[in-house]
Chains A and B, each alone.
Chain A
Amino acid sequence: AQSVTQLGSHVSVSEGALVLLRCNYSSSVPPYLFWYVQYPNQGLQLLLKYTSAATLVKGINGFEAEFKKSETSFHLTKPSAHMSDAAEYFCAVSDRSASGYSTLTFGKGTMLLVSP
């Protein structure tokens, strides 16, 4: 089974600073990778997805992620943090189960805190 590791359960940045949220995956085959964001009392919203078309993926709200096969990483970045970016972020990998169909396996999440 594939797995996802998110380094740091909490990341704190100042408004206007670079955001870097780390995600490493384990996969024996080329993966499909996703980043989701969850605001308080809401479900998860898709930020971006990697499906092998391009290694640098641009998402919504100014976020982007770079797929690096040699490092098995898919880190999420944003050049300048905004207060509204404060939320929990989840990295996920598409995992094919014994039934042959895919499910999403999520990392533990990283809470992004943005201070003024």
Chain B
Amino acid sequence: KAGVTQTPRYLIKTRGQQVTLSCSPISGHRSVSWYQQTPGQGLQFLFEYFSETQRNKGNFPGRFSGRQFSNSRSEMNVSTLELGDSALYLCASSPGQGNNSPLHFGNGTRLTVT
């Protein structure tokens, strides 16, 4: 079974631009979560989607948004990029039932904002 796939692996953007990151979950997984990882803040939860609906949201500004499609693939968008948005963005999928389902992570998208 293929794992979680994130594209692209690396991105370089300029302040003020917007960016879209893509995530394909493990086949059969209906929940997709997004995390931001930085050296200073560690892993911070962005949001979670389940069956095309946002089920959970972390404490990030409205510039960060996401969506999920009917095939469970997910995208996240960051508008008006700031230098502080430079981070590794990790997507994770799970079957979605119960709170003991472990997350399966992709290898992430490394975003650099200059």
Contacts and interface: CB of A to CB of B under 8 A. Distances in A.
Chain B interface size, as a band, is 20 to 34
A104 interface: yes
Interface in A92-116: 94, 96-97, 99, 101-109
Interface stretch (B14-22, B60-68, B103-111): B103-111
Nearest to A45: B105
Main secondary structure of the interface of B (DSSP, over half): strand
A44 B90 contact: yes
Chain A interface size, as a band, is 20 to 34
A101 B90 contact: no
Interface of A: 32, 34, 36, 41-46, 49, 51, 90, 94, 96-97, 99, 101-109
Interface of B: 4, 6, 33, 35, 42-43, 45, 48, 50, 55-58, 90, 92, 99-100, 102-108
